[in-house]
């Protein structure tokens, strides 16, 4: 029996082999872990040329048509989650590559979003760093969020969860998305607003829409210009949903009070990116979904899928 080669990509935490039963596959699959991102598509093509199976972590490594063309041995591509905008599904289908996904038990992004809001308004991490650095006492006067208005862009499963958390903190909540209706807002117990109203009225705006061609650049310079100078923007959805250059300029010119950003158009965020130099921007390295609980589920279900597929069975969660 010819042994299969499996590549686990972008295991930044060096955790994949410790949270799932990979030895279950050892009689037929050789597993290689890549802990660092590829420098380019060409580097990915060279490194993965001899692999039959690839396990991708979210959109960390893109799989466009050109990369599929460079991987003639690839037969199975698994991704964490049940959608991945960086995979060319038509190209995969044309080359006979099966695509499978994994599920979540919970969504940890909403609590992280509230954490970013609390950091922006109360400076917890900032003051912690100052205390550890030997500074004598506080210098940051916080903002109370009770009674403030949270504007939610996208009132789906995650946006609705975020709205519930905000209401528990005593915030008023309004929402907008391209297809959102006043009736849906009423069902969720939040106020409906037009896009223009939301950006003009909200004290804090949080983004929870799925990245697609329709949502790419959804939040642009004109939207940021409507925000109050005391308002904050939080993005834990996807980087390209916000015009990053427009956000950079708004923050540099202090047109808004600040932002909390967990996602970026290019990830990992380049070390020389101007975002890293701003004192009114809280940055986290795409932590929204990254919990040990979630990774245990993702990698565990990848093992399950490889086990079934390598024995000639159906993928438990087939995407294409």
Q: List, for residues 153-175, the tens digit of each pLDDT value.
A: 999 999 999 999 999 999 999 99
| pLDDT value at residue 320 | 67
pLDDT average, residue stretch 109-135: 96
| pLDDT value at residue 1 | 63
Active site residue 317: no
Contact 31, 22 (CB under 8 A): yes
Check whether 104 has a pLDDT greater than 90. Answer: no
What is the C-alpha to C-alpha distance for residues 43 and 312, in angstroms, rounded to an integer? 31
Query: Exactly one of 267, 273, 296, 317 is catalytic; which is it?
Result: 267
| pLDDT value at residue 59 | 87
Check whether 105 has a pLDDT greater than 80. Answer: no
SS3 sequence of 141-163: CCCCCCCCEEEEECCCHHHHHHH
What is the rounded end-to-end Cα distance, in angstroms, of the chain? 27
Q: List, for residues 198-216, the tens digit of each pLDDT value.
A: 999 999 999 999 999 999 9
Q: What is the mean pLDDT of the chain?
A: 95
pLDDT average, residue stretch 58-64: 92
Query: Exactly one of 238, 244, 298, 304 is catalytic; which is it?
Result: 238
Q: How would residue 49 be classed by pLDDT, with cut points 50, 70 and 90?
A: very high
Q: How much is the pTM?
A: 0.89
Q: List, for residues 289-307, the tens digit of each pLDDT value.
A: 889 999 999 999 999 999 9
Active site residue 286: yes
Query: Exactly one of 58, 60, 208, 286 is catalytic; which is it?
Result: 286
Active site residue 267: yes
Q: List, for residues 173-184, the tens digit of each pLDDT value.
A: 999 999 999 999
pLDDT average, residue stretch 112-141: 94
């Amino acid at each position: 029996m010819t042994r299969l080669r499996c590549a686990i990509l972008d295991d930044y935490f060096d955790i994949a082999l410790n949270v799932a039963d990979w030895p279950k596959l050892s009689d037929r699959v050789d597993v290689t872990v890549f802990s660092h991102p590829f420098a380019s598509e060409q580097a990915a093509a060279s490194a993965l040329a001899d692999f039959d199976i690839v396990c991708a972590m979210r959109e960390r490594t893109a799989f466009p048509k050109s990369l599929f063309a460079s991987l003639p041995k690839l037969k199975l591509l698994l991704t964490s989650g049940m959608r991945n905008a960086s995979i060319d599904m038509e190209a995969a289908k044309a080359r006979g590559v099966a695509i499978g996904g994994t599920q979540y038990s919970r969504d940890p992004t909403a609590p992280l979003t509230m954490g970013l809001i609390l950091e922006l308004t109360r400076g917890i991490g900032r003051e912690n760093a100052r205390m550890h650095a030997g500074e004598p006492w506080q210098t940051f006067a916080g903002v109370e969020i009770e009674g403030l208005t949270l504007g939610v862009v996208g009132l789906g499963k995650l946006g609705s969860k975020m709205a519930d958390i905000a209401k528990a903190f005593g915030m008023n909540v309004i929402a907008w998305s391209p297809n959102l209706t006043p009736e849906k807002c009423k069902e969720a117990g939040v106020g409906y607003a037009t896009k223009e109203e939301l950006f003009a009225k909200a004290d804090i705006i949080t983004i929870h829409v799925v990245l697609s061609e329709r949502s790419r650049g959804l939040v642009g310079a004109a939207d940021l210009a409507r925000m109050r100078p005391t308002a904050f923007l939080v993005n834990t959805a996807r980087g390209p949903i916000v015009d990053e250059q427009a956000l950079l300029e708004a923050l540099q010119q202090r047109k808004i009070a600040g932002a909390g950003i967990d996602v970026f158009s290019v990830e990992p965020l380049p070390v020389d990116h101007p975002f890293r130099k701003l004192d009114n921007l809280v940055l986290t390295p795409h932590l929204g979904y990254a919990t040990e609980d979630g990774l245990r589920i993702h990698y565990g279900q990848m093992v399950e899928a490889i086990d079934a597929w390598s024995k000639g069975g159906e993928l438990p969660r087939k995407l294409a």
